[in-house]
Chains A and B, each alone.
Chain A
């Protein structure tokens, strides 16, 4: 359960970061008794390991479409921050603190926002595409988080989403039948992990999960 629940401290730190960076009035935090309102609260731990960020000039060249007229290679070669386990663990905490979980739900199963737990991304599955989807928002309800989140925090989310989406691939397409899918994730209330597809069980067909 080490990474399962954001602790009060990390949550508070997340909101300190959030409320500090918020230039408008859209954000509020909901912990009147927590550390977030205390200016002496510790800063977020190691929140900037991503180092230098990619310039807007580079990001604007990242295509969202898979079609390239004239067969010209359009995708710029970017030096991305490390999207490693540590980044994914920080991303998992951000996912809760910044309320990604509210729409995309625990382990990214999808709800108000689309599932992140499969390989399907409407606006591109490359890390820079996912970064831009978070940064810019998307028309059917994804808020533009670039206005309030630091870029490092967004890259950490990208690292976590990379893990969330890493579903085992049974076939090129997807069969739905009385025997498919065959597996499900161990649900988050039983096993919380920054890499949830490591823990699967037999598909329960609407009955209580096995554990």
Chain B
């Protein structure tokens, strides 16, 4: 029995099934360091989504060890250096990160290595949706805390006891856009937006690359339409989901044009995809420059640098018919600005000249999340008990770089804290080639439906 057990453990699935049994004694063992690991995409096609996140978390751990945390917990937690302050002991933090080279299999290998060899108590990542699901099936049964600050996936938290998503999700984002298109003319006018913007518009469309993020996004989009009670029409199976590696977008945009939508949500986040789709839309009568359609995008569409690039390619986003959101509050309070002003030079000095690049709102979110988590471990009073850590962390708030009092979402049905960030979406527009914050934001109204909370993700 013992030998066959060893053979099974060698397999991936075996590891997932059995590690739970083996891990028990390890968790009980008293430890004098806190082992914390991560799986990031540091090379390969998706590295632009991994480099900054790893950089920010590493910086957070280093600063925690130095006692220079910049962001503050609510209620306050000490950050005195040397490690986590647990009772009267100081526990050093041991940080290990692996590169998944943009491959699902490598990221699962790394997760298993972190669990079995490095005995990590908490694991950051992996980010890629498919790997994330496999990782969840390994980590949750063993009670290992998993964290991600850019995963944007319900699979991080829904139905999971130890998963934490410290950003919004594709579903929550679309709920935000859904609130926006249902705004009253009065509220639009109040914020300087044409009150007739959505008049006479009925049919919605959706286009994105075929992946779990957009599939969830399209479901969220349908939920938002249903919530609106019939003012708009949209069904998930209308979604145009083009395959990976698509170069010619003409047939995909043609499929979208055939549906004759009045509003299109473009859920793409890679510049060349977005530009190709937007160029093709203009050619095929889905014109957002003339108001033929309203084009809704995401936080990448609403980056100033994207607006600039699009302008260079003859795309005008300032027509008043292009809207999107940002998760990061564009109108920061003074205390937050002060924190950001302290953080940015440190980050840029460390990474500005490397392939990581200068600071953006994205690495700030990851930094907030990492320090927040370490404060949470401290607050638990026992760094060897993940149940206590999760409980303590989820009840802690953070005054971070993204704004004051970030907190976890509380399930309205059970009153329990979930691992999902209670994220706010800020509606952004473009005028005179500059992105601007409309002053409209949503939070409480976005957290509904089985993809936001529940006991299990629907199939």
A and B associate: no
Q: Which residues of A contact B (CB under 8 A)?
A: none
